[in-house]
Amino acid sequence: MYYPRLRGHAHVITDAPEVANAWRGTLEFILTSHPLDCPVCDKGGECPLQDLTFKYGPDLSRFYVPYKMHFQKPVPLGELIWLDRERCIYCSRCIRFCEEIANDPVLEFADRGRAQEIVTFSDPPFDSYFSGNTTDICPVGALTTEDFRFKARVWELRNVPSICPHCPVGCNIVIGERAGDIKRIMPRANEWVNEIWICDKGRFGHHFVGADDRLTAPLIRGEDGQFRAATWPEALDYVANRLAAIISTHGPRAVGGIAGARAANEDLYVFVKFFRDVLGSPNVDHRVAWPTGTGIEQAVAHVGLASGSNLASLGPGSLILLVGSDLEEEQPVSYLRVRRARRNGATVVVAQARPVKEEAEAAHLLRYRVGGEAHVMAAILKVVLEAHKNALDKRFNKLKGAQQVREAVADLSLDELARISGVSAEHIRAVAEVVVNARDVVIMVGREALVGAEENAPALVDAAVALLAATGKAGQVNSGLVALWPHNNSQGACDMGVLPDMLPGYRPADEAGATVDDMLSGAADLKALYIMAADPARDRPSSLNALKNVELLIVQDLFMTETARLAHVVFPAAAFAERAGSYTSLERRVQRTEQALRPPGEAMPDWWIVAQLAERFDAAWPPYATAVDIMNEVAKQVKVYKGMSYDKLEGEPVSWSTVAGYHHVYTGTSTLNTWFGRTWAVQAEARRPKYALRWSGLRPPRHEEGVRLVARRRLYDHGTMIARSHLLDRRRARPEVLISSQEAARLGLEEQGGAVRVQANGVTLVTAARVEPRLPADVAVVACDVDGTAWNALTEGGVRAPFGTLEKAEEAVE
């Protein structure tokens, strides 16, 4: 990428006397005005300037410089990053990172000569989700984070490899632990996942682990309606007895389980095993923040991004098709990866109903109408199948269902599809041509596409699968389908079979259980509900009735969440840093973590709690001592995880970071990453792929009065985990609605916006409206997971895109 590109066979000498001499001269000059306050500098100990001075630096300077440049010591570059101008050596790495890699050009040099300094000119200052990375690549201590400022010296930290718990990218991180506290989070270099970057949510969002309000003991609701602390045996016995009683009266289907997708694979596997084997209930699901009934879980197992893929290796001739994504807000490091691919020459096509940041990378922008997502995809498929018959893959026709797809697509009219989706037929033909000619095709489907398509979501997924199969890209390295999941282990939850209609490893279940929608709406008529690591009362406030009506509500979480407040029994769980586990990223890379801290009080890992319950039902389970035992069982029982073990999750071929070794000049940290994880192979990679194509049928999109409300998830929201990082408070998402200029004119608002009343889904909110000129007229973008639960009620936490009405409000809003 930014390393020198060498053509042909080159031999680079880095240790010649000339090199040392050049280093010596440069260092001598740099040190004429470096404060040398290494003892107080947070970079001391992993400072490239310090190391190079030790290795090459002269002990005396020939320069007569009567003074050193002095500035006021630290000045803030935003509230996350501090700048020490005395230490800066004007290498401009931070400026280049922001400009070239993150596409947030907010830093620049000001002044000249010795008075030169780095300034930020954005409002809020240093407005970037990747600002923390500049402190890693800063070769001196000029940029330091507020989070780690004067917290510890780097050599005192115990560096524990882990996986970021915030989003499905699965960034490799290293937890710097000291005296039982997380002092800092740094990226671990992994060329397949996050290179050497992480976003600021990953870096500064760890404070929930050490928060004061963590649950520390099991709680049982007494006769008086108050919680009382209980011992583990007491609470487990209570739950086991109540569950057994409910099952004996109402049958096993009266029990449901919702597992949050931030739990580890081991927890989810044991959870599913408990429900299906021990209780005999098929009602398990994890999709609290993801639409159900789209079929994308199965599609990813069929034609997902093939193992061995690396988005960074995409280049000229590669295509990344983003449908309904908002990478920077939901999977920030994926944005860097897509941008890197584009810079390497790949073509990026963005299909989105509203403006998003990755549009800047797009060669083609398909601005469809909300509800027309599936129609866009079907139109591309139609053009590919019909206008490029010669380019189609020969294996396509042999696939089961191919003929059905052909016929169904032949019945569609391109003009009609173009009319419904709002994307011109010309534009679709151009994109289809890119798809056909592409060397690699990566299709990333975001939540907004599936939510907006509503009942056409299965058709959207079917079209994407057929597109990959027809072009012969299914199963090919660097090609495939990626679901942009909402949580760090949503993919693992699908793999472990936390789905009502699938067993672990995507085996179809004999009888389908209740989906999360049924369980939370009350349609499943549950008597007992076991919720692990999820907070539906907050994310989907419409579930309040269902949650209140169950006879037994068991909640297993880190905090006293909205859902836990309604519970009859609350189990305290251990956070990701307090136990070992494995997580599966959106590229299906299984990666493991190590325990860094002790859980607070009596909190225990999720799998332990579930296994203890199973023991009380006389389940003939092997005694699980550690997460390793469960992983070994998963490797035997779950087909796609065959042959995996914690040992095998450690090594992969040599990467750049392995070559660089402990050299933090390149990797930012002085920890060497040797745990790269392992991707499991999708069905299409098999020699004789056995997946079938489907066609679920396209219906015209629903139309009602008003504008379509699209929920935008922001990186810094008010979620349970991130809310504890008060460093981010000032950047947190605010309640607001983005409207188009036309809508603003219709409502009679000022040019910048004003107060509006939003009505949808039985909720009325008065809020500030901001005009976004690039927004289509029939779409309004609403906040989600901001203060309170009202905003989540509007869109069910982002899994619905209802029609809503806007009117000008007289009330003043801040």
**CA angle in degrees (0–180, nearest 5) for 371-376-380:** 165
Question: In the complex with other proteins, which residue's Cβ is closer, 30 or 459?
Answer: 30
744-753 own/partner pairs: CB under 8 Å, 24+ apart: 744/769, 744/771, 747/806, 747/807, 747/808, 748/808, 749/808
Is residue 64 within the footprint of other proteins (CB under 8 A)? no
Is residue 150 within the footprint of other proteins (CB under 8 A)? yes
3-class secondary structure, 399: coil
3-class secondary structure, 315: coil
Question: In the complex with other proteins, which residue's Cβ is closer, 39 or 316?
Answer: 39
46: amino acid identity, one letter? E
**Site stretch for other proteins (CB under 8 A), options 46-54, 145-153, 275-283, 330-338:** 145-153
Question: In the complex with other proteins, which residue's Cβ is closer, 35 or 57?
Answer: 35
Is residue 67 within the footprint of other proteins (CB under 8 A)? yes
Is residue 787 within the footprint of other proteins (CB under 8 A)? no
Give the whole-angstrom CA distance, residue 191 versus residue 171. Answer: 10
**Site stretch for other proteins (CB under 8 A), options 70-78, 233-241, 606-614, 692-700:** 70-78
Q: Within positions 21 to 40, which residues make up the interface with other proteins, using CB under 8 A? A: 35-37, 39-40
Bridge partner list, 119 = 108
Please pick, from the candidates 23, 24, 99, 153, the single residue that binds other proteins as defined by CB under 8 A.
153
Sign of CA dihedral 460, 461, 465, 471: positive
Bridge partner list, 182 = 177
Short-list 339, 332, 323, 335, CA closest to 379: 323
Are the C-beta atoms of residues 482 and 400 closer than 8 Å to each other? no
Are the C-beta atoms of residues 641 and 635 closer than 8 Å to each other? yes
Per-residue interface string for the shown chain with other proteins, residues 42-61, x marking contact by CB under 8 A: --x-----------------
What count of other Cβ atoms lies within 10 Å of the Cβ of residue 751?
Answer: 10
Q: Please name the helix (run of DSSP H) or strand (run of DSSP E) that holds residue 235, with its range, or none.
A: helix 232-250
**Smallest distance, other proteins to C-beta of residue 181, A:** 10
**Smallest distance, other proteins to C-beta of residue 661, A:** 22
Bridge partner list, 589 = 679
Question: In the complex with other proteins, which residue's Cβ is closer, 39 or 762?
Answer: 39
**Smallest distance, other proteins to C-beta of residue 151, A:** 7
Is residue 151 within the footprint of other proteins (CB under 8 A)? yes
Q: Tokens representing 646?
A: 């914690």
Is residue 158 within the footprint of other proteins (CB under 8 A)? no
**Site stretch for other proteins (CB under 8 A), options 64-72, 448-456, 483-491, 533-541:** 64-72
**Smallest distance, other proteins to C-beta of residue 199, A:** 26
Give the whole-angstrom CA distance, residue 167 versus residue 171. Answer: 8
Please pick, from the candidates 24, 73, 419, 439, the single residue that binds other proteins as defined by CB under 8 A.
73
**Smallest distance, other proteins to C-beta of residue 725, A:** 19
Please pick, from the candidates 48, 74, 170, 486, the single residue that binds other proteins as defined by CB under 8 A.
74
Give the whole-angstrom CA distance, residue 120 versus residue 130. Answer: 14
Cα dihedral value 467, 473, 479, 483, nearest 10: 30
Question: In the complex with other proteins, which residue's Cβ is closer, 178 or 395?
Answer: 178
DSSP letter string, 405-442 = HHHHHHHS-HHHHHHHHT--HHHHHHHHHHHHH-SEEE
Give the whole-angstrom CA distance, residue 254 versus residue 247. Answer: 7
Is residue 155 within the footprint of other proteins (CB under 8 A)? yes
Instruction: Kindly state the number of chain residues that form the binding site for other proteins, as judged by CB under 8 A.
Output: 19
**Smallest distance, other proteins to C-beta of residue 176, A:** 14
**Site stretch for other proteins (CB under 8 A), options 152-160, 206-214, 363-371, 647-655:** 152-160
**Smallest distance, other proteins to C-beta of residue 142, A:** 14
Please pick, from the candidates 55, 114, 149, 726, the single residue that binds other proteins as defined by CB under 8 A.
149
Strand order in the sheet with 81-84: 74-77, 81-84, 143-145
Is residue 156 within the footprint of other proteins (CB under 8 A)? yes
**Smallest distance, other proteins to C-beta of residue 153, A:** 4
- Site for other proteins, rule CB under 8 A: 35-37, 39-40, 44, 67-68, 70, 73-74, 86, 149-153, 155-156
